[in-house]
């Protein structure tokens, strides 16, 4: 006896692939729309007067340059002077050169 011809699996496979693709596409579209709807605008695209004070420096390129220059000068000063970071815990600020000398002295300096 001859076996009956089975239907070709190809149409079923194409339908399954198309269905999975459609479901993933729909999921991606819905996810992107929800994400974009609840995401606040970037600070650099917002007017400075509409931003909170802690983000106002991001408003314009000039304000970002000014903030960066101020931050760098503050960091340069911190690397050159003594001071207290936290008196309760005994954490101090030491000039970088002196800190390197102390580390070498305390750790032997030789390997």
pLDDT for 79 equals 87
Max Cα-Cα span within the chain: 99
Q: What is the pLDDT of residues 32-85, one digit of tens each?
A: 887 776 666 665 555 667 777 777 777 778 888 888 999 999 999 888 999 998
């Amino acid at each position: 006896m001859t076996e009956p011809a089975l239907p070709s699996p190809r149409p079923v496979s194409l339908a399954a692939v198309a269905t999975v693709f459609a479901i993933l596409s729909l999921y991606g579209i819905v996810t992107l729309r929800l994400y974009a709807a609840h995401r606040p605008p970037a600070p650099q695209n917002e007017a400075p007067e509409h931003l909170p004070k802690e983000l106002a420096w991001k408003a314009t390129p000039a304000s970002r340059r000014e903030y960066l220059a101020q931050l760098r000068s503050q960091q340069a000063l911190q690397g050159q002077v003594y001071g207290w970071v936290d008196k309760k815990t005994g954490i101090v600020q030491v000039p970088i050169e002196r800190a390197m000398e102390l580390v070498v002295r305390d750790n032997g300096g030789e390997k």
